Every structure is written in structure tokens, then in C-alpha cells.
A and B are shown apart, each in its own frame.
Chain A
Amino acid sequence: MNAPIPLKPLLSVENLWVRFQGEMGTVDAVQGISFFIAPGETVALVGESGSGKSVAALSLLRLLPPSAIVTAEGIYYRGRQTTTLDPEPLRKLRGAEMAMVFQEPMTALNPVYPIGRQLIEALQQDPSVDPRSLRHRAAELLDWTGIPDPESRLDSFPHQLSGGQRQRVLIAMALARHPSLLIADEPTTALDVTIQAQILELLTRLRRELNMAMLLITHDLPMVRKCADRVYVMRQGRIVETAPTQTLFSNPRHPYTRTLLAALPDAHPPRRPANAPVLLTANNLRCHFPIKRGLFKRTVGWIKAVDEVSFQLRKGETLGVVGESGSGKTTLGEAILQLNSSQGEIRFADLDLRSGDRNTQRLRRRRMQVVFQDPFSSLSPRLTIGEILEEGLLIHGLAPDPAQRRARVQEILAEVGLDTDTLDRYPHQFSGGQRQRIAIARAMILKPELLVLDEPTSALDLSVQAQILKLLKKLQQDHGLAYLFISHDLRVIRAMAHEVMVMQNGRVVEAGPTRELFDSPRHPYTQRLLAAALDLSTGGRESDPP
């Protein structure tokens, strides 16, 4: 079902270039791309970070910073050239004809105004709306996007809403003036998986009701499969392949598209060793933070970030910890690493982790190490890679001789698949995937027995994610490492973990062997989570093509 090229596309872009001029030289973020969107069509612009997809979208509304130089043979909206438009007619085009939904619902709303006021502001741009009905219209919009009790919600401030609700408000604002084209820039990336499914459903429903075209910018292939009619695949500023969604997924032609599709993790964890000894035991682990109020900071209650969690982790095994944001999975990881204060028993090998003085506890840290989510903030920006890697050796006196240290650092770099001549460079000179390799090397150089992996692949692109997972599997097999693998991504967990623990509001709601849990989840929350995630990952469109 090839979409015929319409005689009158809603938007067509011809040979678009975007160049950034900075102190460090010029970068061509978008290099001569052309695409079109027919009325009522959903078109996805897919690519990994740095592929130029967001820049291309922002340039349509001229929302790029002044350092960007945009040139195009033509950006035609309803056949009208927009590149030569003056600021005033362009402003009228924004919102009324083309509206935008951004990725980050936390920062896209003004925190000091109630959301009603921000919605009304969007409505006021339209002179035909009766000023007396503004509030009513705003409530209607909220109702439409599925926010319960819209009348009273108008007076809420952004921080009083959850992430999903904020994204709904943003969508309501974008739709306030019934635009013909909605540009959605990673509209669900910052949200939890169950919320993602809801927002996606909402967008699909609204698009159908308004007969609106949508330009979906995303890196999330399952989402593309679920909602898009046609797909453009971008790589390094160019469009490498375009096809109707079905065709692209069943018969990808460009090698890059194929690697993208192959990168979806669906492999299984390495075989677990038989009769491995128990390495880590947590018994009734609790992490409660006091809520203090008033002049004298009296404790009025407790936030139970982690509550009565017990588990066992064997040598060479991976325990996956799944949960949505706020479920306490990161706090659990920190409690195991003794980075926050917790109660309850933690035993590592045969040691009570809380015994001994500060110094013994500090030196014990060598045996369990951690890799954090964001490779951009987890490496000291002012230290070279060599300095970062050898720090652990220095602290624990593992290689007193400088030459020995250097040899060990080079050995570990080779093991995680990095060039050994990178020692004198600084973290910002590396890509996200390389930095995560450095972070893994920093943990591995101490020869730990347990690695706590806190969302180690969530900040990475799909293809890089696959490589990092492969590396982690190899390290586990070579060294008999135990992993505590924390993730919100069920696909990754299924590919990595032997055992899974599902957390909600600080408690473990369900735990068991991975396959069993994925095949027959018992707890309703687990069922909901799996339904949302796996519905996305197996694809299958619900909406009818227009």
C-alpha cells in the first residue's frame, strides 16, 4: 500500500540545509533533506541522537537559535512559500496552522502560572474566540485530552500535575486552535511506559478526530510502527530511506535501517551457572526519608522510598529491577551500595555490610561497583580518562607502580573495546556510548564481584544500547559477575535478567524467574506494565490509515 504522492501536500520541504556556526567551527546538522506530508497523514522522522531530526523540525517554524543558518529551496505550506515570510505572518502560522509538542513536559510549561492561564493565552491568539468563553473553552480542551475534573484543574500549577498530565496539557495547548499539522518532537520519551501508551493513544485519537496531519519525530521504532503512515529514516543529517511503515519494517532496504531494526533487544540472558553461591542477600531492606514541617522541623511523616524489600542474588546471575519513575528502584540500588542510609540487613558474601568502621566500609566498596544512567554526568569533566580510570587503583592501592597502573588501565580499556591511546583525552571528547564504556571500565578495573547497573542503557541510542548490552553479557561470562540491573525498559530486562523484581511505590509487587514472570504475570500492576510495554514492542496498528 504505497501512499500516492498527493497533488497538494500540506507541507513540502525541498533541499533543507541547517548549519550551526560556533566557536569550534561549523556543523551541518541537516544536509539537504526533502520530504512532504499529505493532509491528515502521520509521518515519522526517525533517527538516533545527532541525526538532525529535531533540528529539521524546529527549522520548519523557524524556532532555531540565531547561530543556525537555514537554507532551503522551499518550505511550502499549503503551496505557499514560508521561507520568505515576514515574522508577523509567520507568527500567525505558528499555533494556528502548525503547532508543536515538545519532549520535556517538565520544562515546557511556565512554572509560575496556573495551567488555565497558559491555555487561555494560547486561545487568545485567535481573535474569533469570544473572550467570555475562554475559560470554558480551556476546560473543554483539558476534558478533551482526558484530564479528569477539568474545571478545577485549570487552577493547578504545573508542579501539581504528573508528567503524563503535563504532556496532556501541552497537547491541549498545541491543539487549542485546531492546527492542520502537529509537530510532535519525542512526545513520550520522558514518560513512563504505561503513560507513554496512554499519550500515544490520545495523540492517535485526536489526530483522527481533527483529521490533522502529524509529523512525529522519534527514535522509538515500536512507536513509529504503531502510529505512522510513512517513515523517513535520518542519519547524520541526511534522509537515507523512506517508505510506508509496513514496507519499511518488513523489507528495510538501507543497511542503516536494518541495523536500527536489528538493534531492538530480544536476545536472552547468558546461561546462568548452576549451583552458584549466594553473593548478596537483602532482608527487609527499608529506606525511609522523614518529611519535616514547621519551624522546628518536626517529622510529620515518612516517605517510604524502599519498603521491606528482600531478595537474593547469586554469583554470575542478573537480577532485574523493574519499575516506573518514583518506584524506588534507584534508591534500592543506592542502598545496596551504601550511598544512602537504610535499615534492614544487607549481606555481601558472608559479610554484614554495615559492620566495621568507616574506613573498612570504604575499602569494602571495591567488591561492588556501579554504572549510572547518564554517561555525560557520571565522569568528572576535569579529569582525563587515564586519571578517571586509575583513581580506583590508587584508592585501593592495587597497583602502586605507575607503569603497572598504566598497563592495567590500558588492559581494561581494551577489554571494554576502546582505543588505548585515549588516556590523555577528556570525557567530553567522547560519544555517549564510548563514555558508558569508560564508566564500565572504571567499575571493572577494581575487579568487583557485583555490579549495580542503574539504567545503564537508557540514555543511549538503540544501536549503541545493543553494543553495551553485548559488552555487559560478555563481561558477566568472562568474570562471573553478578548484576543488579535496574531499568524501566522491559525489553532490556528480558534480554539481560535471569530473575526479575517488579517494584511499585517502594514495594516489590512481584518477583520471579524472568520467563515465568513475562509469560504469566500475576499482579495486576505487572500485567498493566507488561501490556503497555509489549503492546508497544510487538507493534500492530490499531488506527485505520486515513
Chain B
Amino acid sequence: MPRFLHPSPLLLRRWRRFQANPRGRVSLWIFSILFLLSLGAEVISNDKPLIIRYEGSFYFPLVTSYPETTFGGEFITETDYKDPEILKNLRQGDNWAIFPPNPHGYATIDLHATRPAPARPGDGHLLGTDDRARDVLARLIYGFRLSVLFALSLTLVGVVVGIVAGAIQGYFGGRVDLWLQRFMEIWGSMPELYLLIIFAGIFNPGIPLLLILLSLFGWMSLADYVRAEFLRARNLVYVKAARAMGASDRAIMFRHLLPNAMTPVITFLPFRVSGAILALTSLDFLGLGVPPTTPSLGELLRQGKGNIEAWWLSLSAFVTLVVMLLLLNFIGEALRDAMDPRKE
């Protein structure tokens, strides 16, 4: 039987303790729902219809791109479904089209806006438009998804590298530990921000570059905790027993030691995610992050700073960030309490 079908009683007890914390439990629910919804952002917020019924056949613009000529237009480029001409064709006779709840994409510029950008909420834009006449709500939804996905990948990379580095230091100890510790001290004293500025100047800044650069430094805080756990546990009797049995170093590290070193890793997870979100937002705010077409909360905040009278820009980005970080911190808090060894 696979392991996850009968989780250890310890895990169950911790899960029950987590569940017993209402704030953490509700936060986890809300965050998971928001994240799952944002994964389907294309269905929620898009400038393309979900389904089109046109002259007896069905079209799915989200899946396939259709040239304008399909719907009686003149160009063979992809259809602009916001074009009044096309819209008229789509709605006459038996034809119909279903648009998503928020009929704007994150990069669509509203060419038919009646008011100058940035435009206050109303007029088909629930949260108004930014200074390039793009829908703020759409940018928020996509920005949220990007932030969370970025943060999760950054955390994943950091956790994997941190665990491996910490495990090696803690398990082998001695000289290996000494040299890796010195390396980490030197590495950790490098000015991260300046490196980012320099690299942003050399390369085209984008998500992959940011992920690599932030990962280079993000693993270190975790490595220390894992190292400490391994150092403590490597002389325990069951590790000796495994060695006497002939288990290899790798088997001992990952089968016997790692499960017992996971407490700090799991406890820090939500805080690492929120830290990563904040890091991406700050870099975007400074203009060192993603290119301007990418939907990002930091970029929206920067626009808010540039257009101080357009309160809906800064306010919506601010509220999104606060809610997101607050949820993560509540989850983290509940998780930390649930993993507290004093409660075992």
C-alpha cells in the first residue's frame, strides 16, 4: 500500500491540530480557492469569447485562433473580438457568443474607451483601467496567479537546494561542513540587489532570469535549519543501526534523517512563499523585474505611484497584496503551532 494512504499518526495529529485553528483553516481554504480560480484565469477574464455559435458551427477561440475572415471580417490575422463590426456579426440572427465574466485580457488595450486612461471604475471596467487603458481587474487576476506561481517555484527550488545543501553539511560534518559554511558566508554577503540591477542591465529581465537570480540566494536560510537538524540526528541510535545494516549514505540521509528534519522546512513554507511574493513585487515596483507587458502587482503599484490621483490603481494592488500575504501568514502561523514539538 502506498505511504500516503496511511499517513503516520504524527502527521494526522498535526493535521488535526492545524484544523483546530479556525483562522488557519479558513485562510487555507480561501487561499486554495483563490489560487485554483486564478489557474483558470483565462476563463474568468479574457477578451475572447468562451464559445461562439456562428452560422451553424461552434468555435472555441480560447483553444484555437481563428482569422477574422471566419466571422465575416476582412483580415486574415487573428480576430479582434472587441471590434464592433465583428461583435455585430457574432450577435445577429442565430449566432451567439459567451464572453467570460470579465471580458478583458490582461494586455488588451481598450481602444474603444470613452474616457482617457487611467479611467476610474465603471464603464465596463469594474476596477477601472491603468495608464495604458488596460483593465485593472484582469491585471490583478493574472498578476495574482503569476505572483503565486512564481513564489511557489522559487520556494520549491529554494527548498530542494536548501535541503540538499543542509543535508550534506549536517550529515558529513567535519571538513565538508566547514568549507560549505565558509562558502555560504561569502555567498550570503554578496549584494543581492546590486547583482539584480547589474543583471537586469545585461540581460532582458524576465521571469526565468528572476527565478534563477533569486534562487541563487534564497536557499541559504533554510540550509542552516536542515543542517542543524541533521547534525543533531546523525548520531542518533537509529542512524547507527541503519549504518550497521549496510545502508548507503544517501539512504540514511533521505530515508531516515530527512523525515525528521522536515519540521523547520514545512513550518517556514508559507512564510517563504509570502517572502517570495513580496520580493517579486518589490523588484517589479523598482522596475527591475518583469517586462511591462507582464501582469504584475508591483508594476501596478508603480503606476499607482506615478498616477497618484488614480486611487483605484494603488488601492486595488494594495488590497490584493495585503489579503494574499495575510492569508499566507495566517496559514503559516497555524502550521507553526501545529508543528510545535512542545505540543507533541
Contact = CB atoms under 8 A, between A and B. Distances in A.
Contacts of A374: 237
Q: Which of A369, A377, A380, A396 has the most CB of B within 10 A?
A: A380
Given A391-B255, A442-B241, 4 more contacts: A364-B246, A372-B237, A381-B238, A428-B9
A429 interface: yes
18 contacts: A339-B244, A362-B248, A370-B244, A374-B237, A378-B238, A379-B241, A380-B242, A380-B256, A382-B259, A383-B259, A391-B242, A392-B246, A395-B246, A426-B8, A426-B10, A428-B9, A429-B9, A439-B241
A337 B241 CA distance: 10
A352 interface: no
A424 interface: yes
Given A382-B259, A382-B260, A370 B241 contact: yes
B338 to A, nearest CB: 12
B6 interface: yes
Nearest to A363: B246
Contacts of B245: 365-366, 369, 391-392, 395, 442, 446
B241 A378 contact: yes
Given A381-B260, A382-B260, A426-B8, A365 B237 contact: no
B244 A395 contact: no
Interface string A440-481: 001000100000000000000000000000000000000000
A383 B9 CA distance: 11
B240 interface: yes
- Which range holds the interface residue count of chain B? 20 to 34
Interface of B: 1, 6, 8-10, 13, 236-238, 240-248, 251, 255-256, 259-260, 343
B247 A379 contact: no
B236 to A, nearest CB: 6
Contact of A395 (B6, B247, B256, B343): B247
Contacts of A379: 238, 241
A216 to B, nearest CB: 31
Nearest to B236: A377
A396 B247 CA distance: 9
Contacts of A370: 240-241, 244
The 8 closest A-B pairs by CB, nearest first: A365-B246, A382-B259, A378-B237, A377-B237, A370-B244, A380-B238, A362-B246, A372-B237
A337 B244 contact: yes
Contacts of A339: 240, 243-244
Contacts of A395: 245-248, 251
Nearest to A379: B238
A384 B5 CA distance: 13
A23 B342 CA distance: 12
Contacts of B247: 391, 395
Contacts of A366: 245-246
Interface in A401-454: 424, 426, 428-429, 439, 442, 446
A380 B254 CA distance: 12
B124 to A, nearest CB: 55
A389 B234 CA distance: 20
A50 to B, nearest CB: 19
Contacts of A396: 246
A370 B8 CA distance: 26
A366 to B, nearest CB: 6
A395 B249 CA distance: 12
A373 B238 CA distance: 11
Contacts of A380: 238, 242, 255-256, 259-260
A320 B6 CA distance: 42
B249 to A, nearest CB: 10
Contacts of B236: 377
A382 B237 contact: no
Nearest to A369: B244
A428 B244 CA distance: 22
A377 B246 contact: no
Contacts of B13: 23
